[in-house]
Chains A and B, each alone.
Chain A
Amino acid sequence: AQSVAQPEDQVNVAEGNPLTVKCTYSVSGNPYLFWYVQYPNRGLQFLLKYITGDNLVKGSYGFEAEFNKSQTSFHLKKPSALVSDSALYFCAVRAGNTGFQKLVFGTGTRLLVSP
């Protein structure tokens, strides 16, 4: 069975500094990996995904994530944080088998960017 771990409940960073939100996963076979963001009182919004190919994936709002197979990680990064990036971030994984597979979400990491 697949699983996702987000080891940090909250990440604090100053505006303009780089940010990293950590995610590690466990899945049989090749993973499909996702990051979603949730702003207050909103649904989850898709940020980016890794399926295959280049290990560095670029997504919305200047975010990127690096797939590291040996460390089974998929950390979310941004070179320069904005106050408006403050939100709840979810990592998710599914097995990359043929056919439909459910997404398994992590517990979420709250990002707080201070001015």
Chain B
Amino acid sequence: DAGVIQSPRHEVTEMGQEVTLRCKPISGHDYLFWYRQTMMRGLELLIYFNNNVPIDDSGMPEDRFSAKMPNASFSTLKIQPSEPRDSAVYFCASTRGVGADTQYFGPGTRLTVL
């Protein structure tokens, strides 16, 4: 298996622009997570899905952030409008929701908002 795939790997944009991050989970995994990593806050869980349904979005910082999962093999995290404080590395992870739920992470998208 190719593992969790994220695109783009790097994104540089200007404040106010819309940003869309993409994730393809591991086939057969029914849970998908979006995390954000910064030096100040460490690793934060933003939202997670089970069987394509958002379960907990309490970590989403504000209404500028939205996430969708239209099918089992694709999810997006959108920021509109983007701000400099959104600069971070965004990770997607997936797992099968049985047993101990080991999560498998993608390589991340490094977002820079100027």
Chain A interfacial positions (CB closer than 8 Å to B): 32, 34, 36, 41-46, 49, 51, 90, 94, 100-103, 105-108
Contacts and interface: CB of A to CB of B under 8 A. Distances in A.
A107 B101 contact: no
Contacts of B104: 46
A46 B103 contact: yes
Interface string B31-43: 1000000000011
A100 B100 contact: no
Interface of B is mostly: strand
Q: How large is the interface on B (under 10, 10 to 19, 20 to 34, 35 or more residues)?
A: 20 to 34
B56 interface: yes
B72 interface: no
Given A42-B108, A94-B101, A100-B31, 4 more contacts: A36-B105, A41-B108, A46-B102, A100-B50
B105 A45 contact: yes
Interface in B92-106: 93, 97, 99-106
The 8 lowest CB-CB distance pairs between A and B, nearest first, are A43-B105, A44-B105, A107-B42, A105-B43, A43-B107, A100-B97, A51-B100, A32-B100
